[in-house]
Amino acid sequence: MATTLWGKIYYNDTYAGILQQEPSGRCIFTYDTSYLSSSSQPIAFTFPLRKEPFISEGDLHPFFDNLGAEGWLENAQAKALKSSNNNRFERLLGFGYDLAGAVSIRDPEPRAHIQLDPVDEVTNAALRGRASLSGVQRKLLIVKEGNQYRPTRTNELSTHIAKLPSGNLTDIIEVEYLTTLAVKKLLPEDSTVEMEIATINSITQPALVIKRFDRIISNSKITRVHFEEFNQLLGLHSGDDKYNGSYEMLGNFINTTPGCIPAEADRLYRRILACLIVGNTDAHFKNFAMLHTRDGLRLTPSYDLVAANRYSQFHTIALSIGSASNLDIGNLKPKHIIDLGRGFGLNDKIILDATNELKRNLAAAKQAISTAKIDCSLKLRSKLIDIMEKRWNGSFDSIGPLLSQRQNKGAKHKT
């Protein structure tokens, strides 16, 4: 890379500052003085409002790095830009209009031409929108027009995300649909993304269509709502960092960050337990996120709920539970669930209350999987129910007795 690259950063439609990358790879983000003087929101948790630049040696700052595409979309972007070097910043500049949250990146000298893929309709549609979204599953950014969905046009904001069937993970969209339904039943008071399996204009395959929680439509105008996932909040990079840590780090972030509320540690704890029950082993840092609100950071609805345990390559729980790292979900024990609760700063009464809530709703969750009106095999439904039953019996059922045993022991010591 011979030249300095730079882009203009916007928060919704307001110009917020400049991000540049020097030939050495060093990246610098600087707020514009107009943004600093207009009582604006920080663009990221890691970028509090200040006039001094934020410098990241050798690489993009985690906030920007995690906005970039991954997997097939990132490869398609690199090909479209005919980019010979492996530069994430260049891809963000080319495809930074529609990103996760309220921030966008605009190239001051946009490329007039982007090489579209002559063969693949999905890749073409994904590139045309100048959008980036992380995650490895094939997905498209789409808008709802009347009762129909279509891919976004160039520099148009999306309202929904479409996830498409993926070669080696059979029935992946049906699995995500059913898993999400089960989690909704397990935690009826929590919020979970809204979705349906639907067709998209000009795309052959049906897709899982998910409503974006970071877009609001009012008087036909789409506004971006800001959020960050935990790789961004914790200052971790894209790639494998999302697996490098523990669930307790999420609870600790909520418990120690000004503006967060302790009730959300309880809420998140229940979410993680629900993930474990349904076999969502791939619940890593990028699959939990918080909205920027006027009162502080608040959990987004839960998303990317997939009973990955159904696939042979996903039996290891994505993050550590206390000191238990690379834990096979089959080896998850009641003590792990209790330790996790304590790591979240929760007392035994709340831990028991959380498991009792899940116990009460287990039958409804299984029933939802059995009766969901989607086109999928009985075998798949049975498999997902079987995963939940096994997990309940193996890891959850004896939490109550174990807690009272521990309490009795504690009481005896005191007397």
Ligand X SMILES: Nc1ncnc2c1ncn2[C@@H]1O[C@H](COP(=O)(O)OP(=O)(O)O)[C@@H](O)[C@H]1O
Query: Residue 297's closest CA among 240, 219, 234, 370?
Result: 234
- The string over 103-132, giving b where at least 16 C-beta atoms fall within 10 Å of a residue's C-beta and e elsewhere, is bbbebeeeeeebebeeeeebbbbbbbbbbb
Q: Running DSSP on this structure, what letter comes out for residue 264?
A: H
Q: Which of ligand X, Mg ion, none does 165 bind, CB closer than 5 to 8 A by kind? A: none
Helix (H), strand (E) at residue 27: strand 27-31
Q: Which is nearer to Mg ion, 306 or 354 (CB)?
A: 306
Residue 336 to residues 146, 216, 247, 343, 389: CA-CA distances in angstroms?
A: 48, 39, 11, 10, 18
The residue ranges of DSSP E strands in 241-354, in sequence order, are 289-293, 296-299
List binders of Mg ion among 138-157 (CB under 5 A): none
> Least distance in Å: CB of 125 to ligand X?
16
Residues from 99 through 128 that contact ligand X (CB under 6 A): 100
**From Mg ion, ligand X, none, which one binds at residue 56 (CB under 5 to 8 Å depending on kind)?**
none
Among 99, 125, 193, 346, which residue sits at the site for ligand X (rule: CB under 6 A)? Answer: 193
φ, ψ of residue 74 to 5 degrees: the values are -65, -40
- Is the CB of 284 or the CB of 366 nearer to ligand X? 284
Q: Which is nearer to Mg ion, 65 or 304 (CB)?
A: 304
Query: For ligand X, what does the binding mask look like between residues 65 and 104, x meaning CB under 6 A?
Result: -----------------------------------x----
Of residues 162-181, those binding ligand X (CB under 6 A): none
Query: Could you tell me which residues come within 8 angstroms of residue 251 by beta carbon, excluding any fewer than 6 positions away?
Result: 265, 268, 269, 343, 344, 345
Fill in the amino acid letter for 177: Y
**The one segment of 56-64, 113-121, 132-140, 248-256 that binds ligand X by CB under 6 A:** 132-140
Integer Cα distance of 52 and 196 in angstroms: 46
- 222 vs 402, beta carbon nearer ligand X: 222
Give the Cα separation of 319 and 337 in Å (integer).
13
* Residue in 91, 184, 237, 286 binding ligand X, rule: CB under 6 A: 286
- Amino acid at site 382: S
Could you say which residues in the range 345-364 bind Mg ion, by CB under 5 A?
none
Considering the rule CB under 6 A, would residue 25 count as an interface residue with ligand X? no
- 133 near ligand X (CB under 6 A): yes
Q: Are 137 and 183 in contact (CB under 8 A)?
A: no
Q: How far is the CB of 317 from ligand X (least distance, A)?
A: 16
CA 376 to chain CA mean position, Å? 25
Cβ distance to ligand X smaller for residue 104 or 137 = 137
Instruction: With CB under 5 A as the rule, give the number of residues binding Mg ion.
Output: 3
Minimum gap (Å) between residue 267 Cβ and Mg ion: 19
Asked if 71 touches Mg ion (CB under 5 A), the answer is no
Compute φ and ψ for 29, nearest 5 degrees. -110, 135
Give the C-alpha separation, 367 to 363, whole Å.
6
Which residue's CB atom is positioned nearest to Mg ion? 304
The one of ligand X, Mg ion, none whose footprint includes residue 177, by CB under 5 to 8 A per kind, is: none
CB 239 within 8 A of CB 62: no
Distance CA 290, CA 227 (A): 5
The answer to whether 74 contacts Mg ion (rule: CB under 5 A) is no
Nearest to 212 by CA among 315, 102, 329: 102
* Partner that binds at residue 193, options Mg ion, ligand X, none, CB closer than 5 to 8 Å by kind: ligand X
- Whole-number minimum distance, CB 142 to Mg ion, in Å? 18
User: Is the Cβ–Cβ distance between 26 and 58 less than 8 Å?
Assistant: yes
The CB-of-298 to Mg ion minimum distance in angstroms stands at: 20
Closer by beta carbon to ligand X, 60 or else 362: 60
Could you say which residues in the range 298-327 bind Mg ion, by CB under 5 A?
304
Q: Which of 128, 212, 237, 366 binds ligand X (CB under 6 A)?
A: 212
Q: Smallest distance from the beta carbon of 207 to ligand X, in angstroms?
A: 12
Binding site for ligand X (CB under 6 A): 100, 133-137, 161, 193, 210, 212-214, 229, 286-287, 289, 303-304
Binding site for Mg ion (CB under 5 A): 135, 287, 304
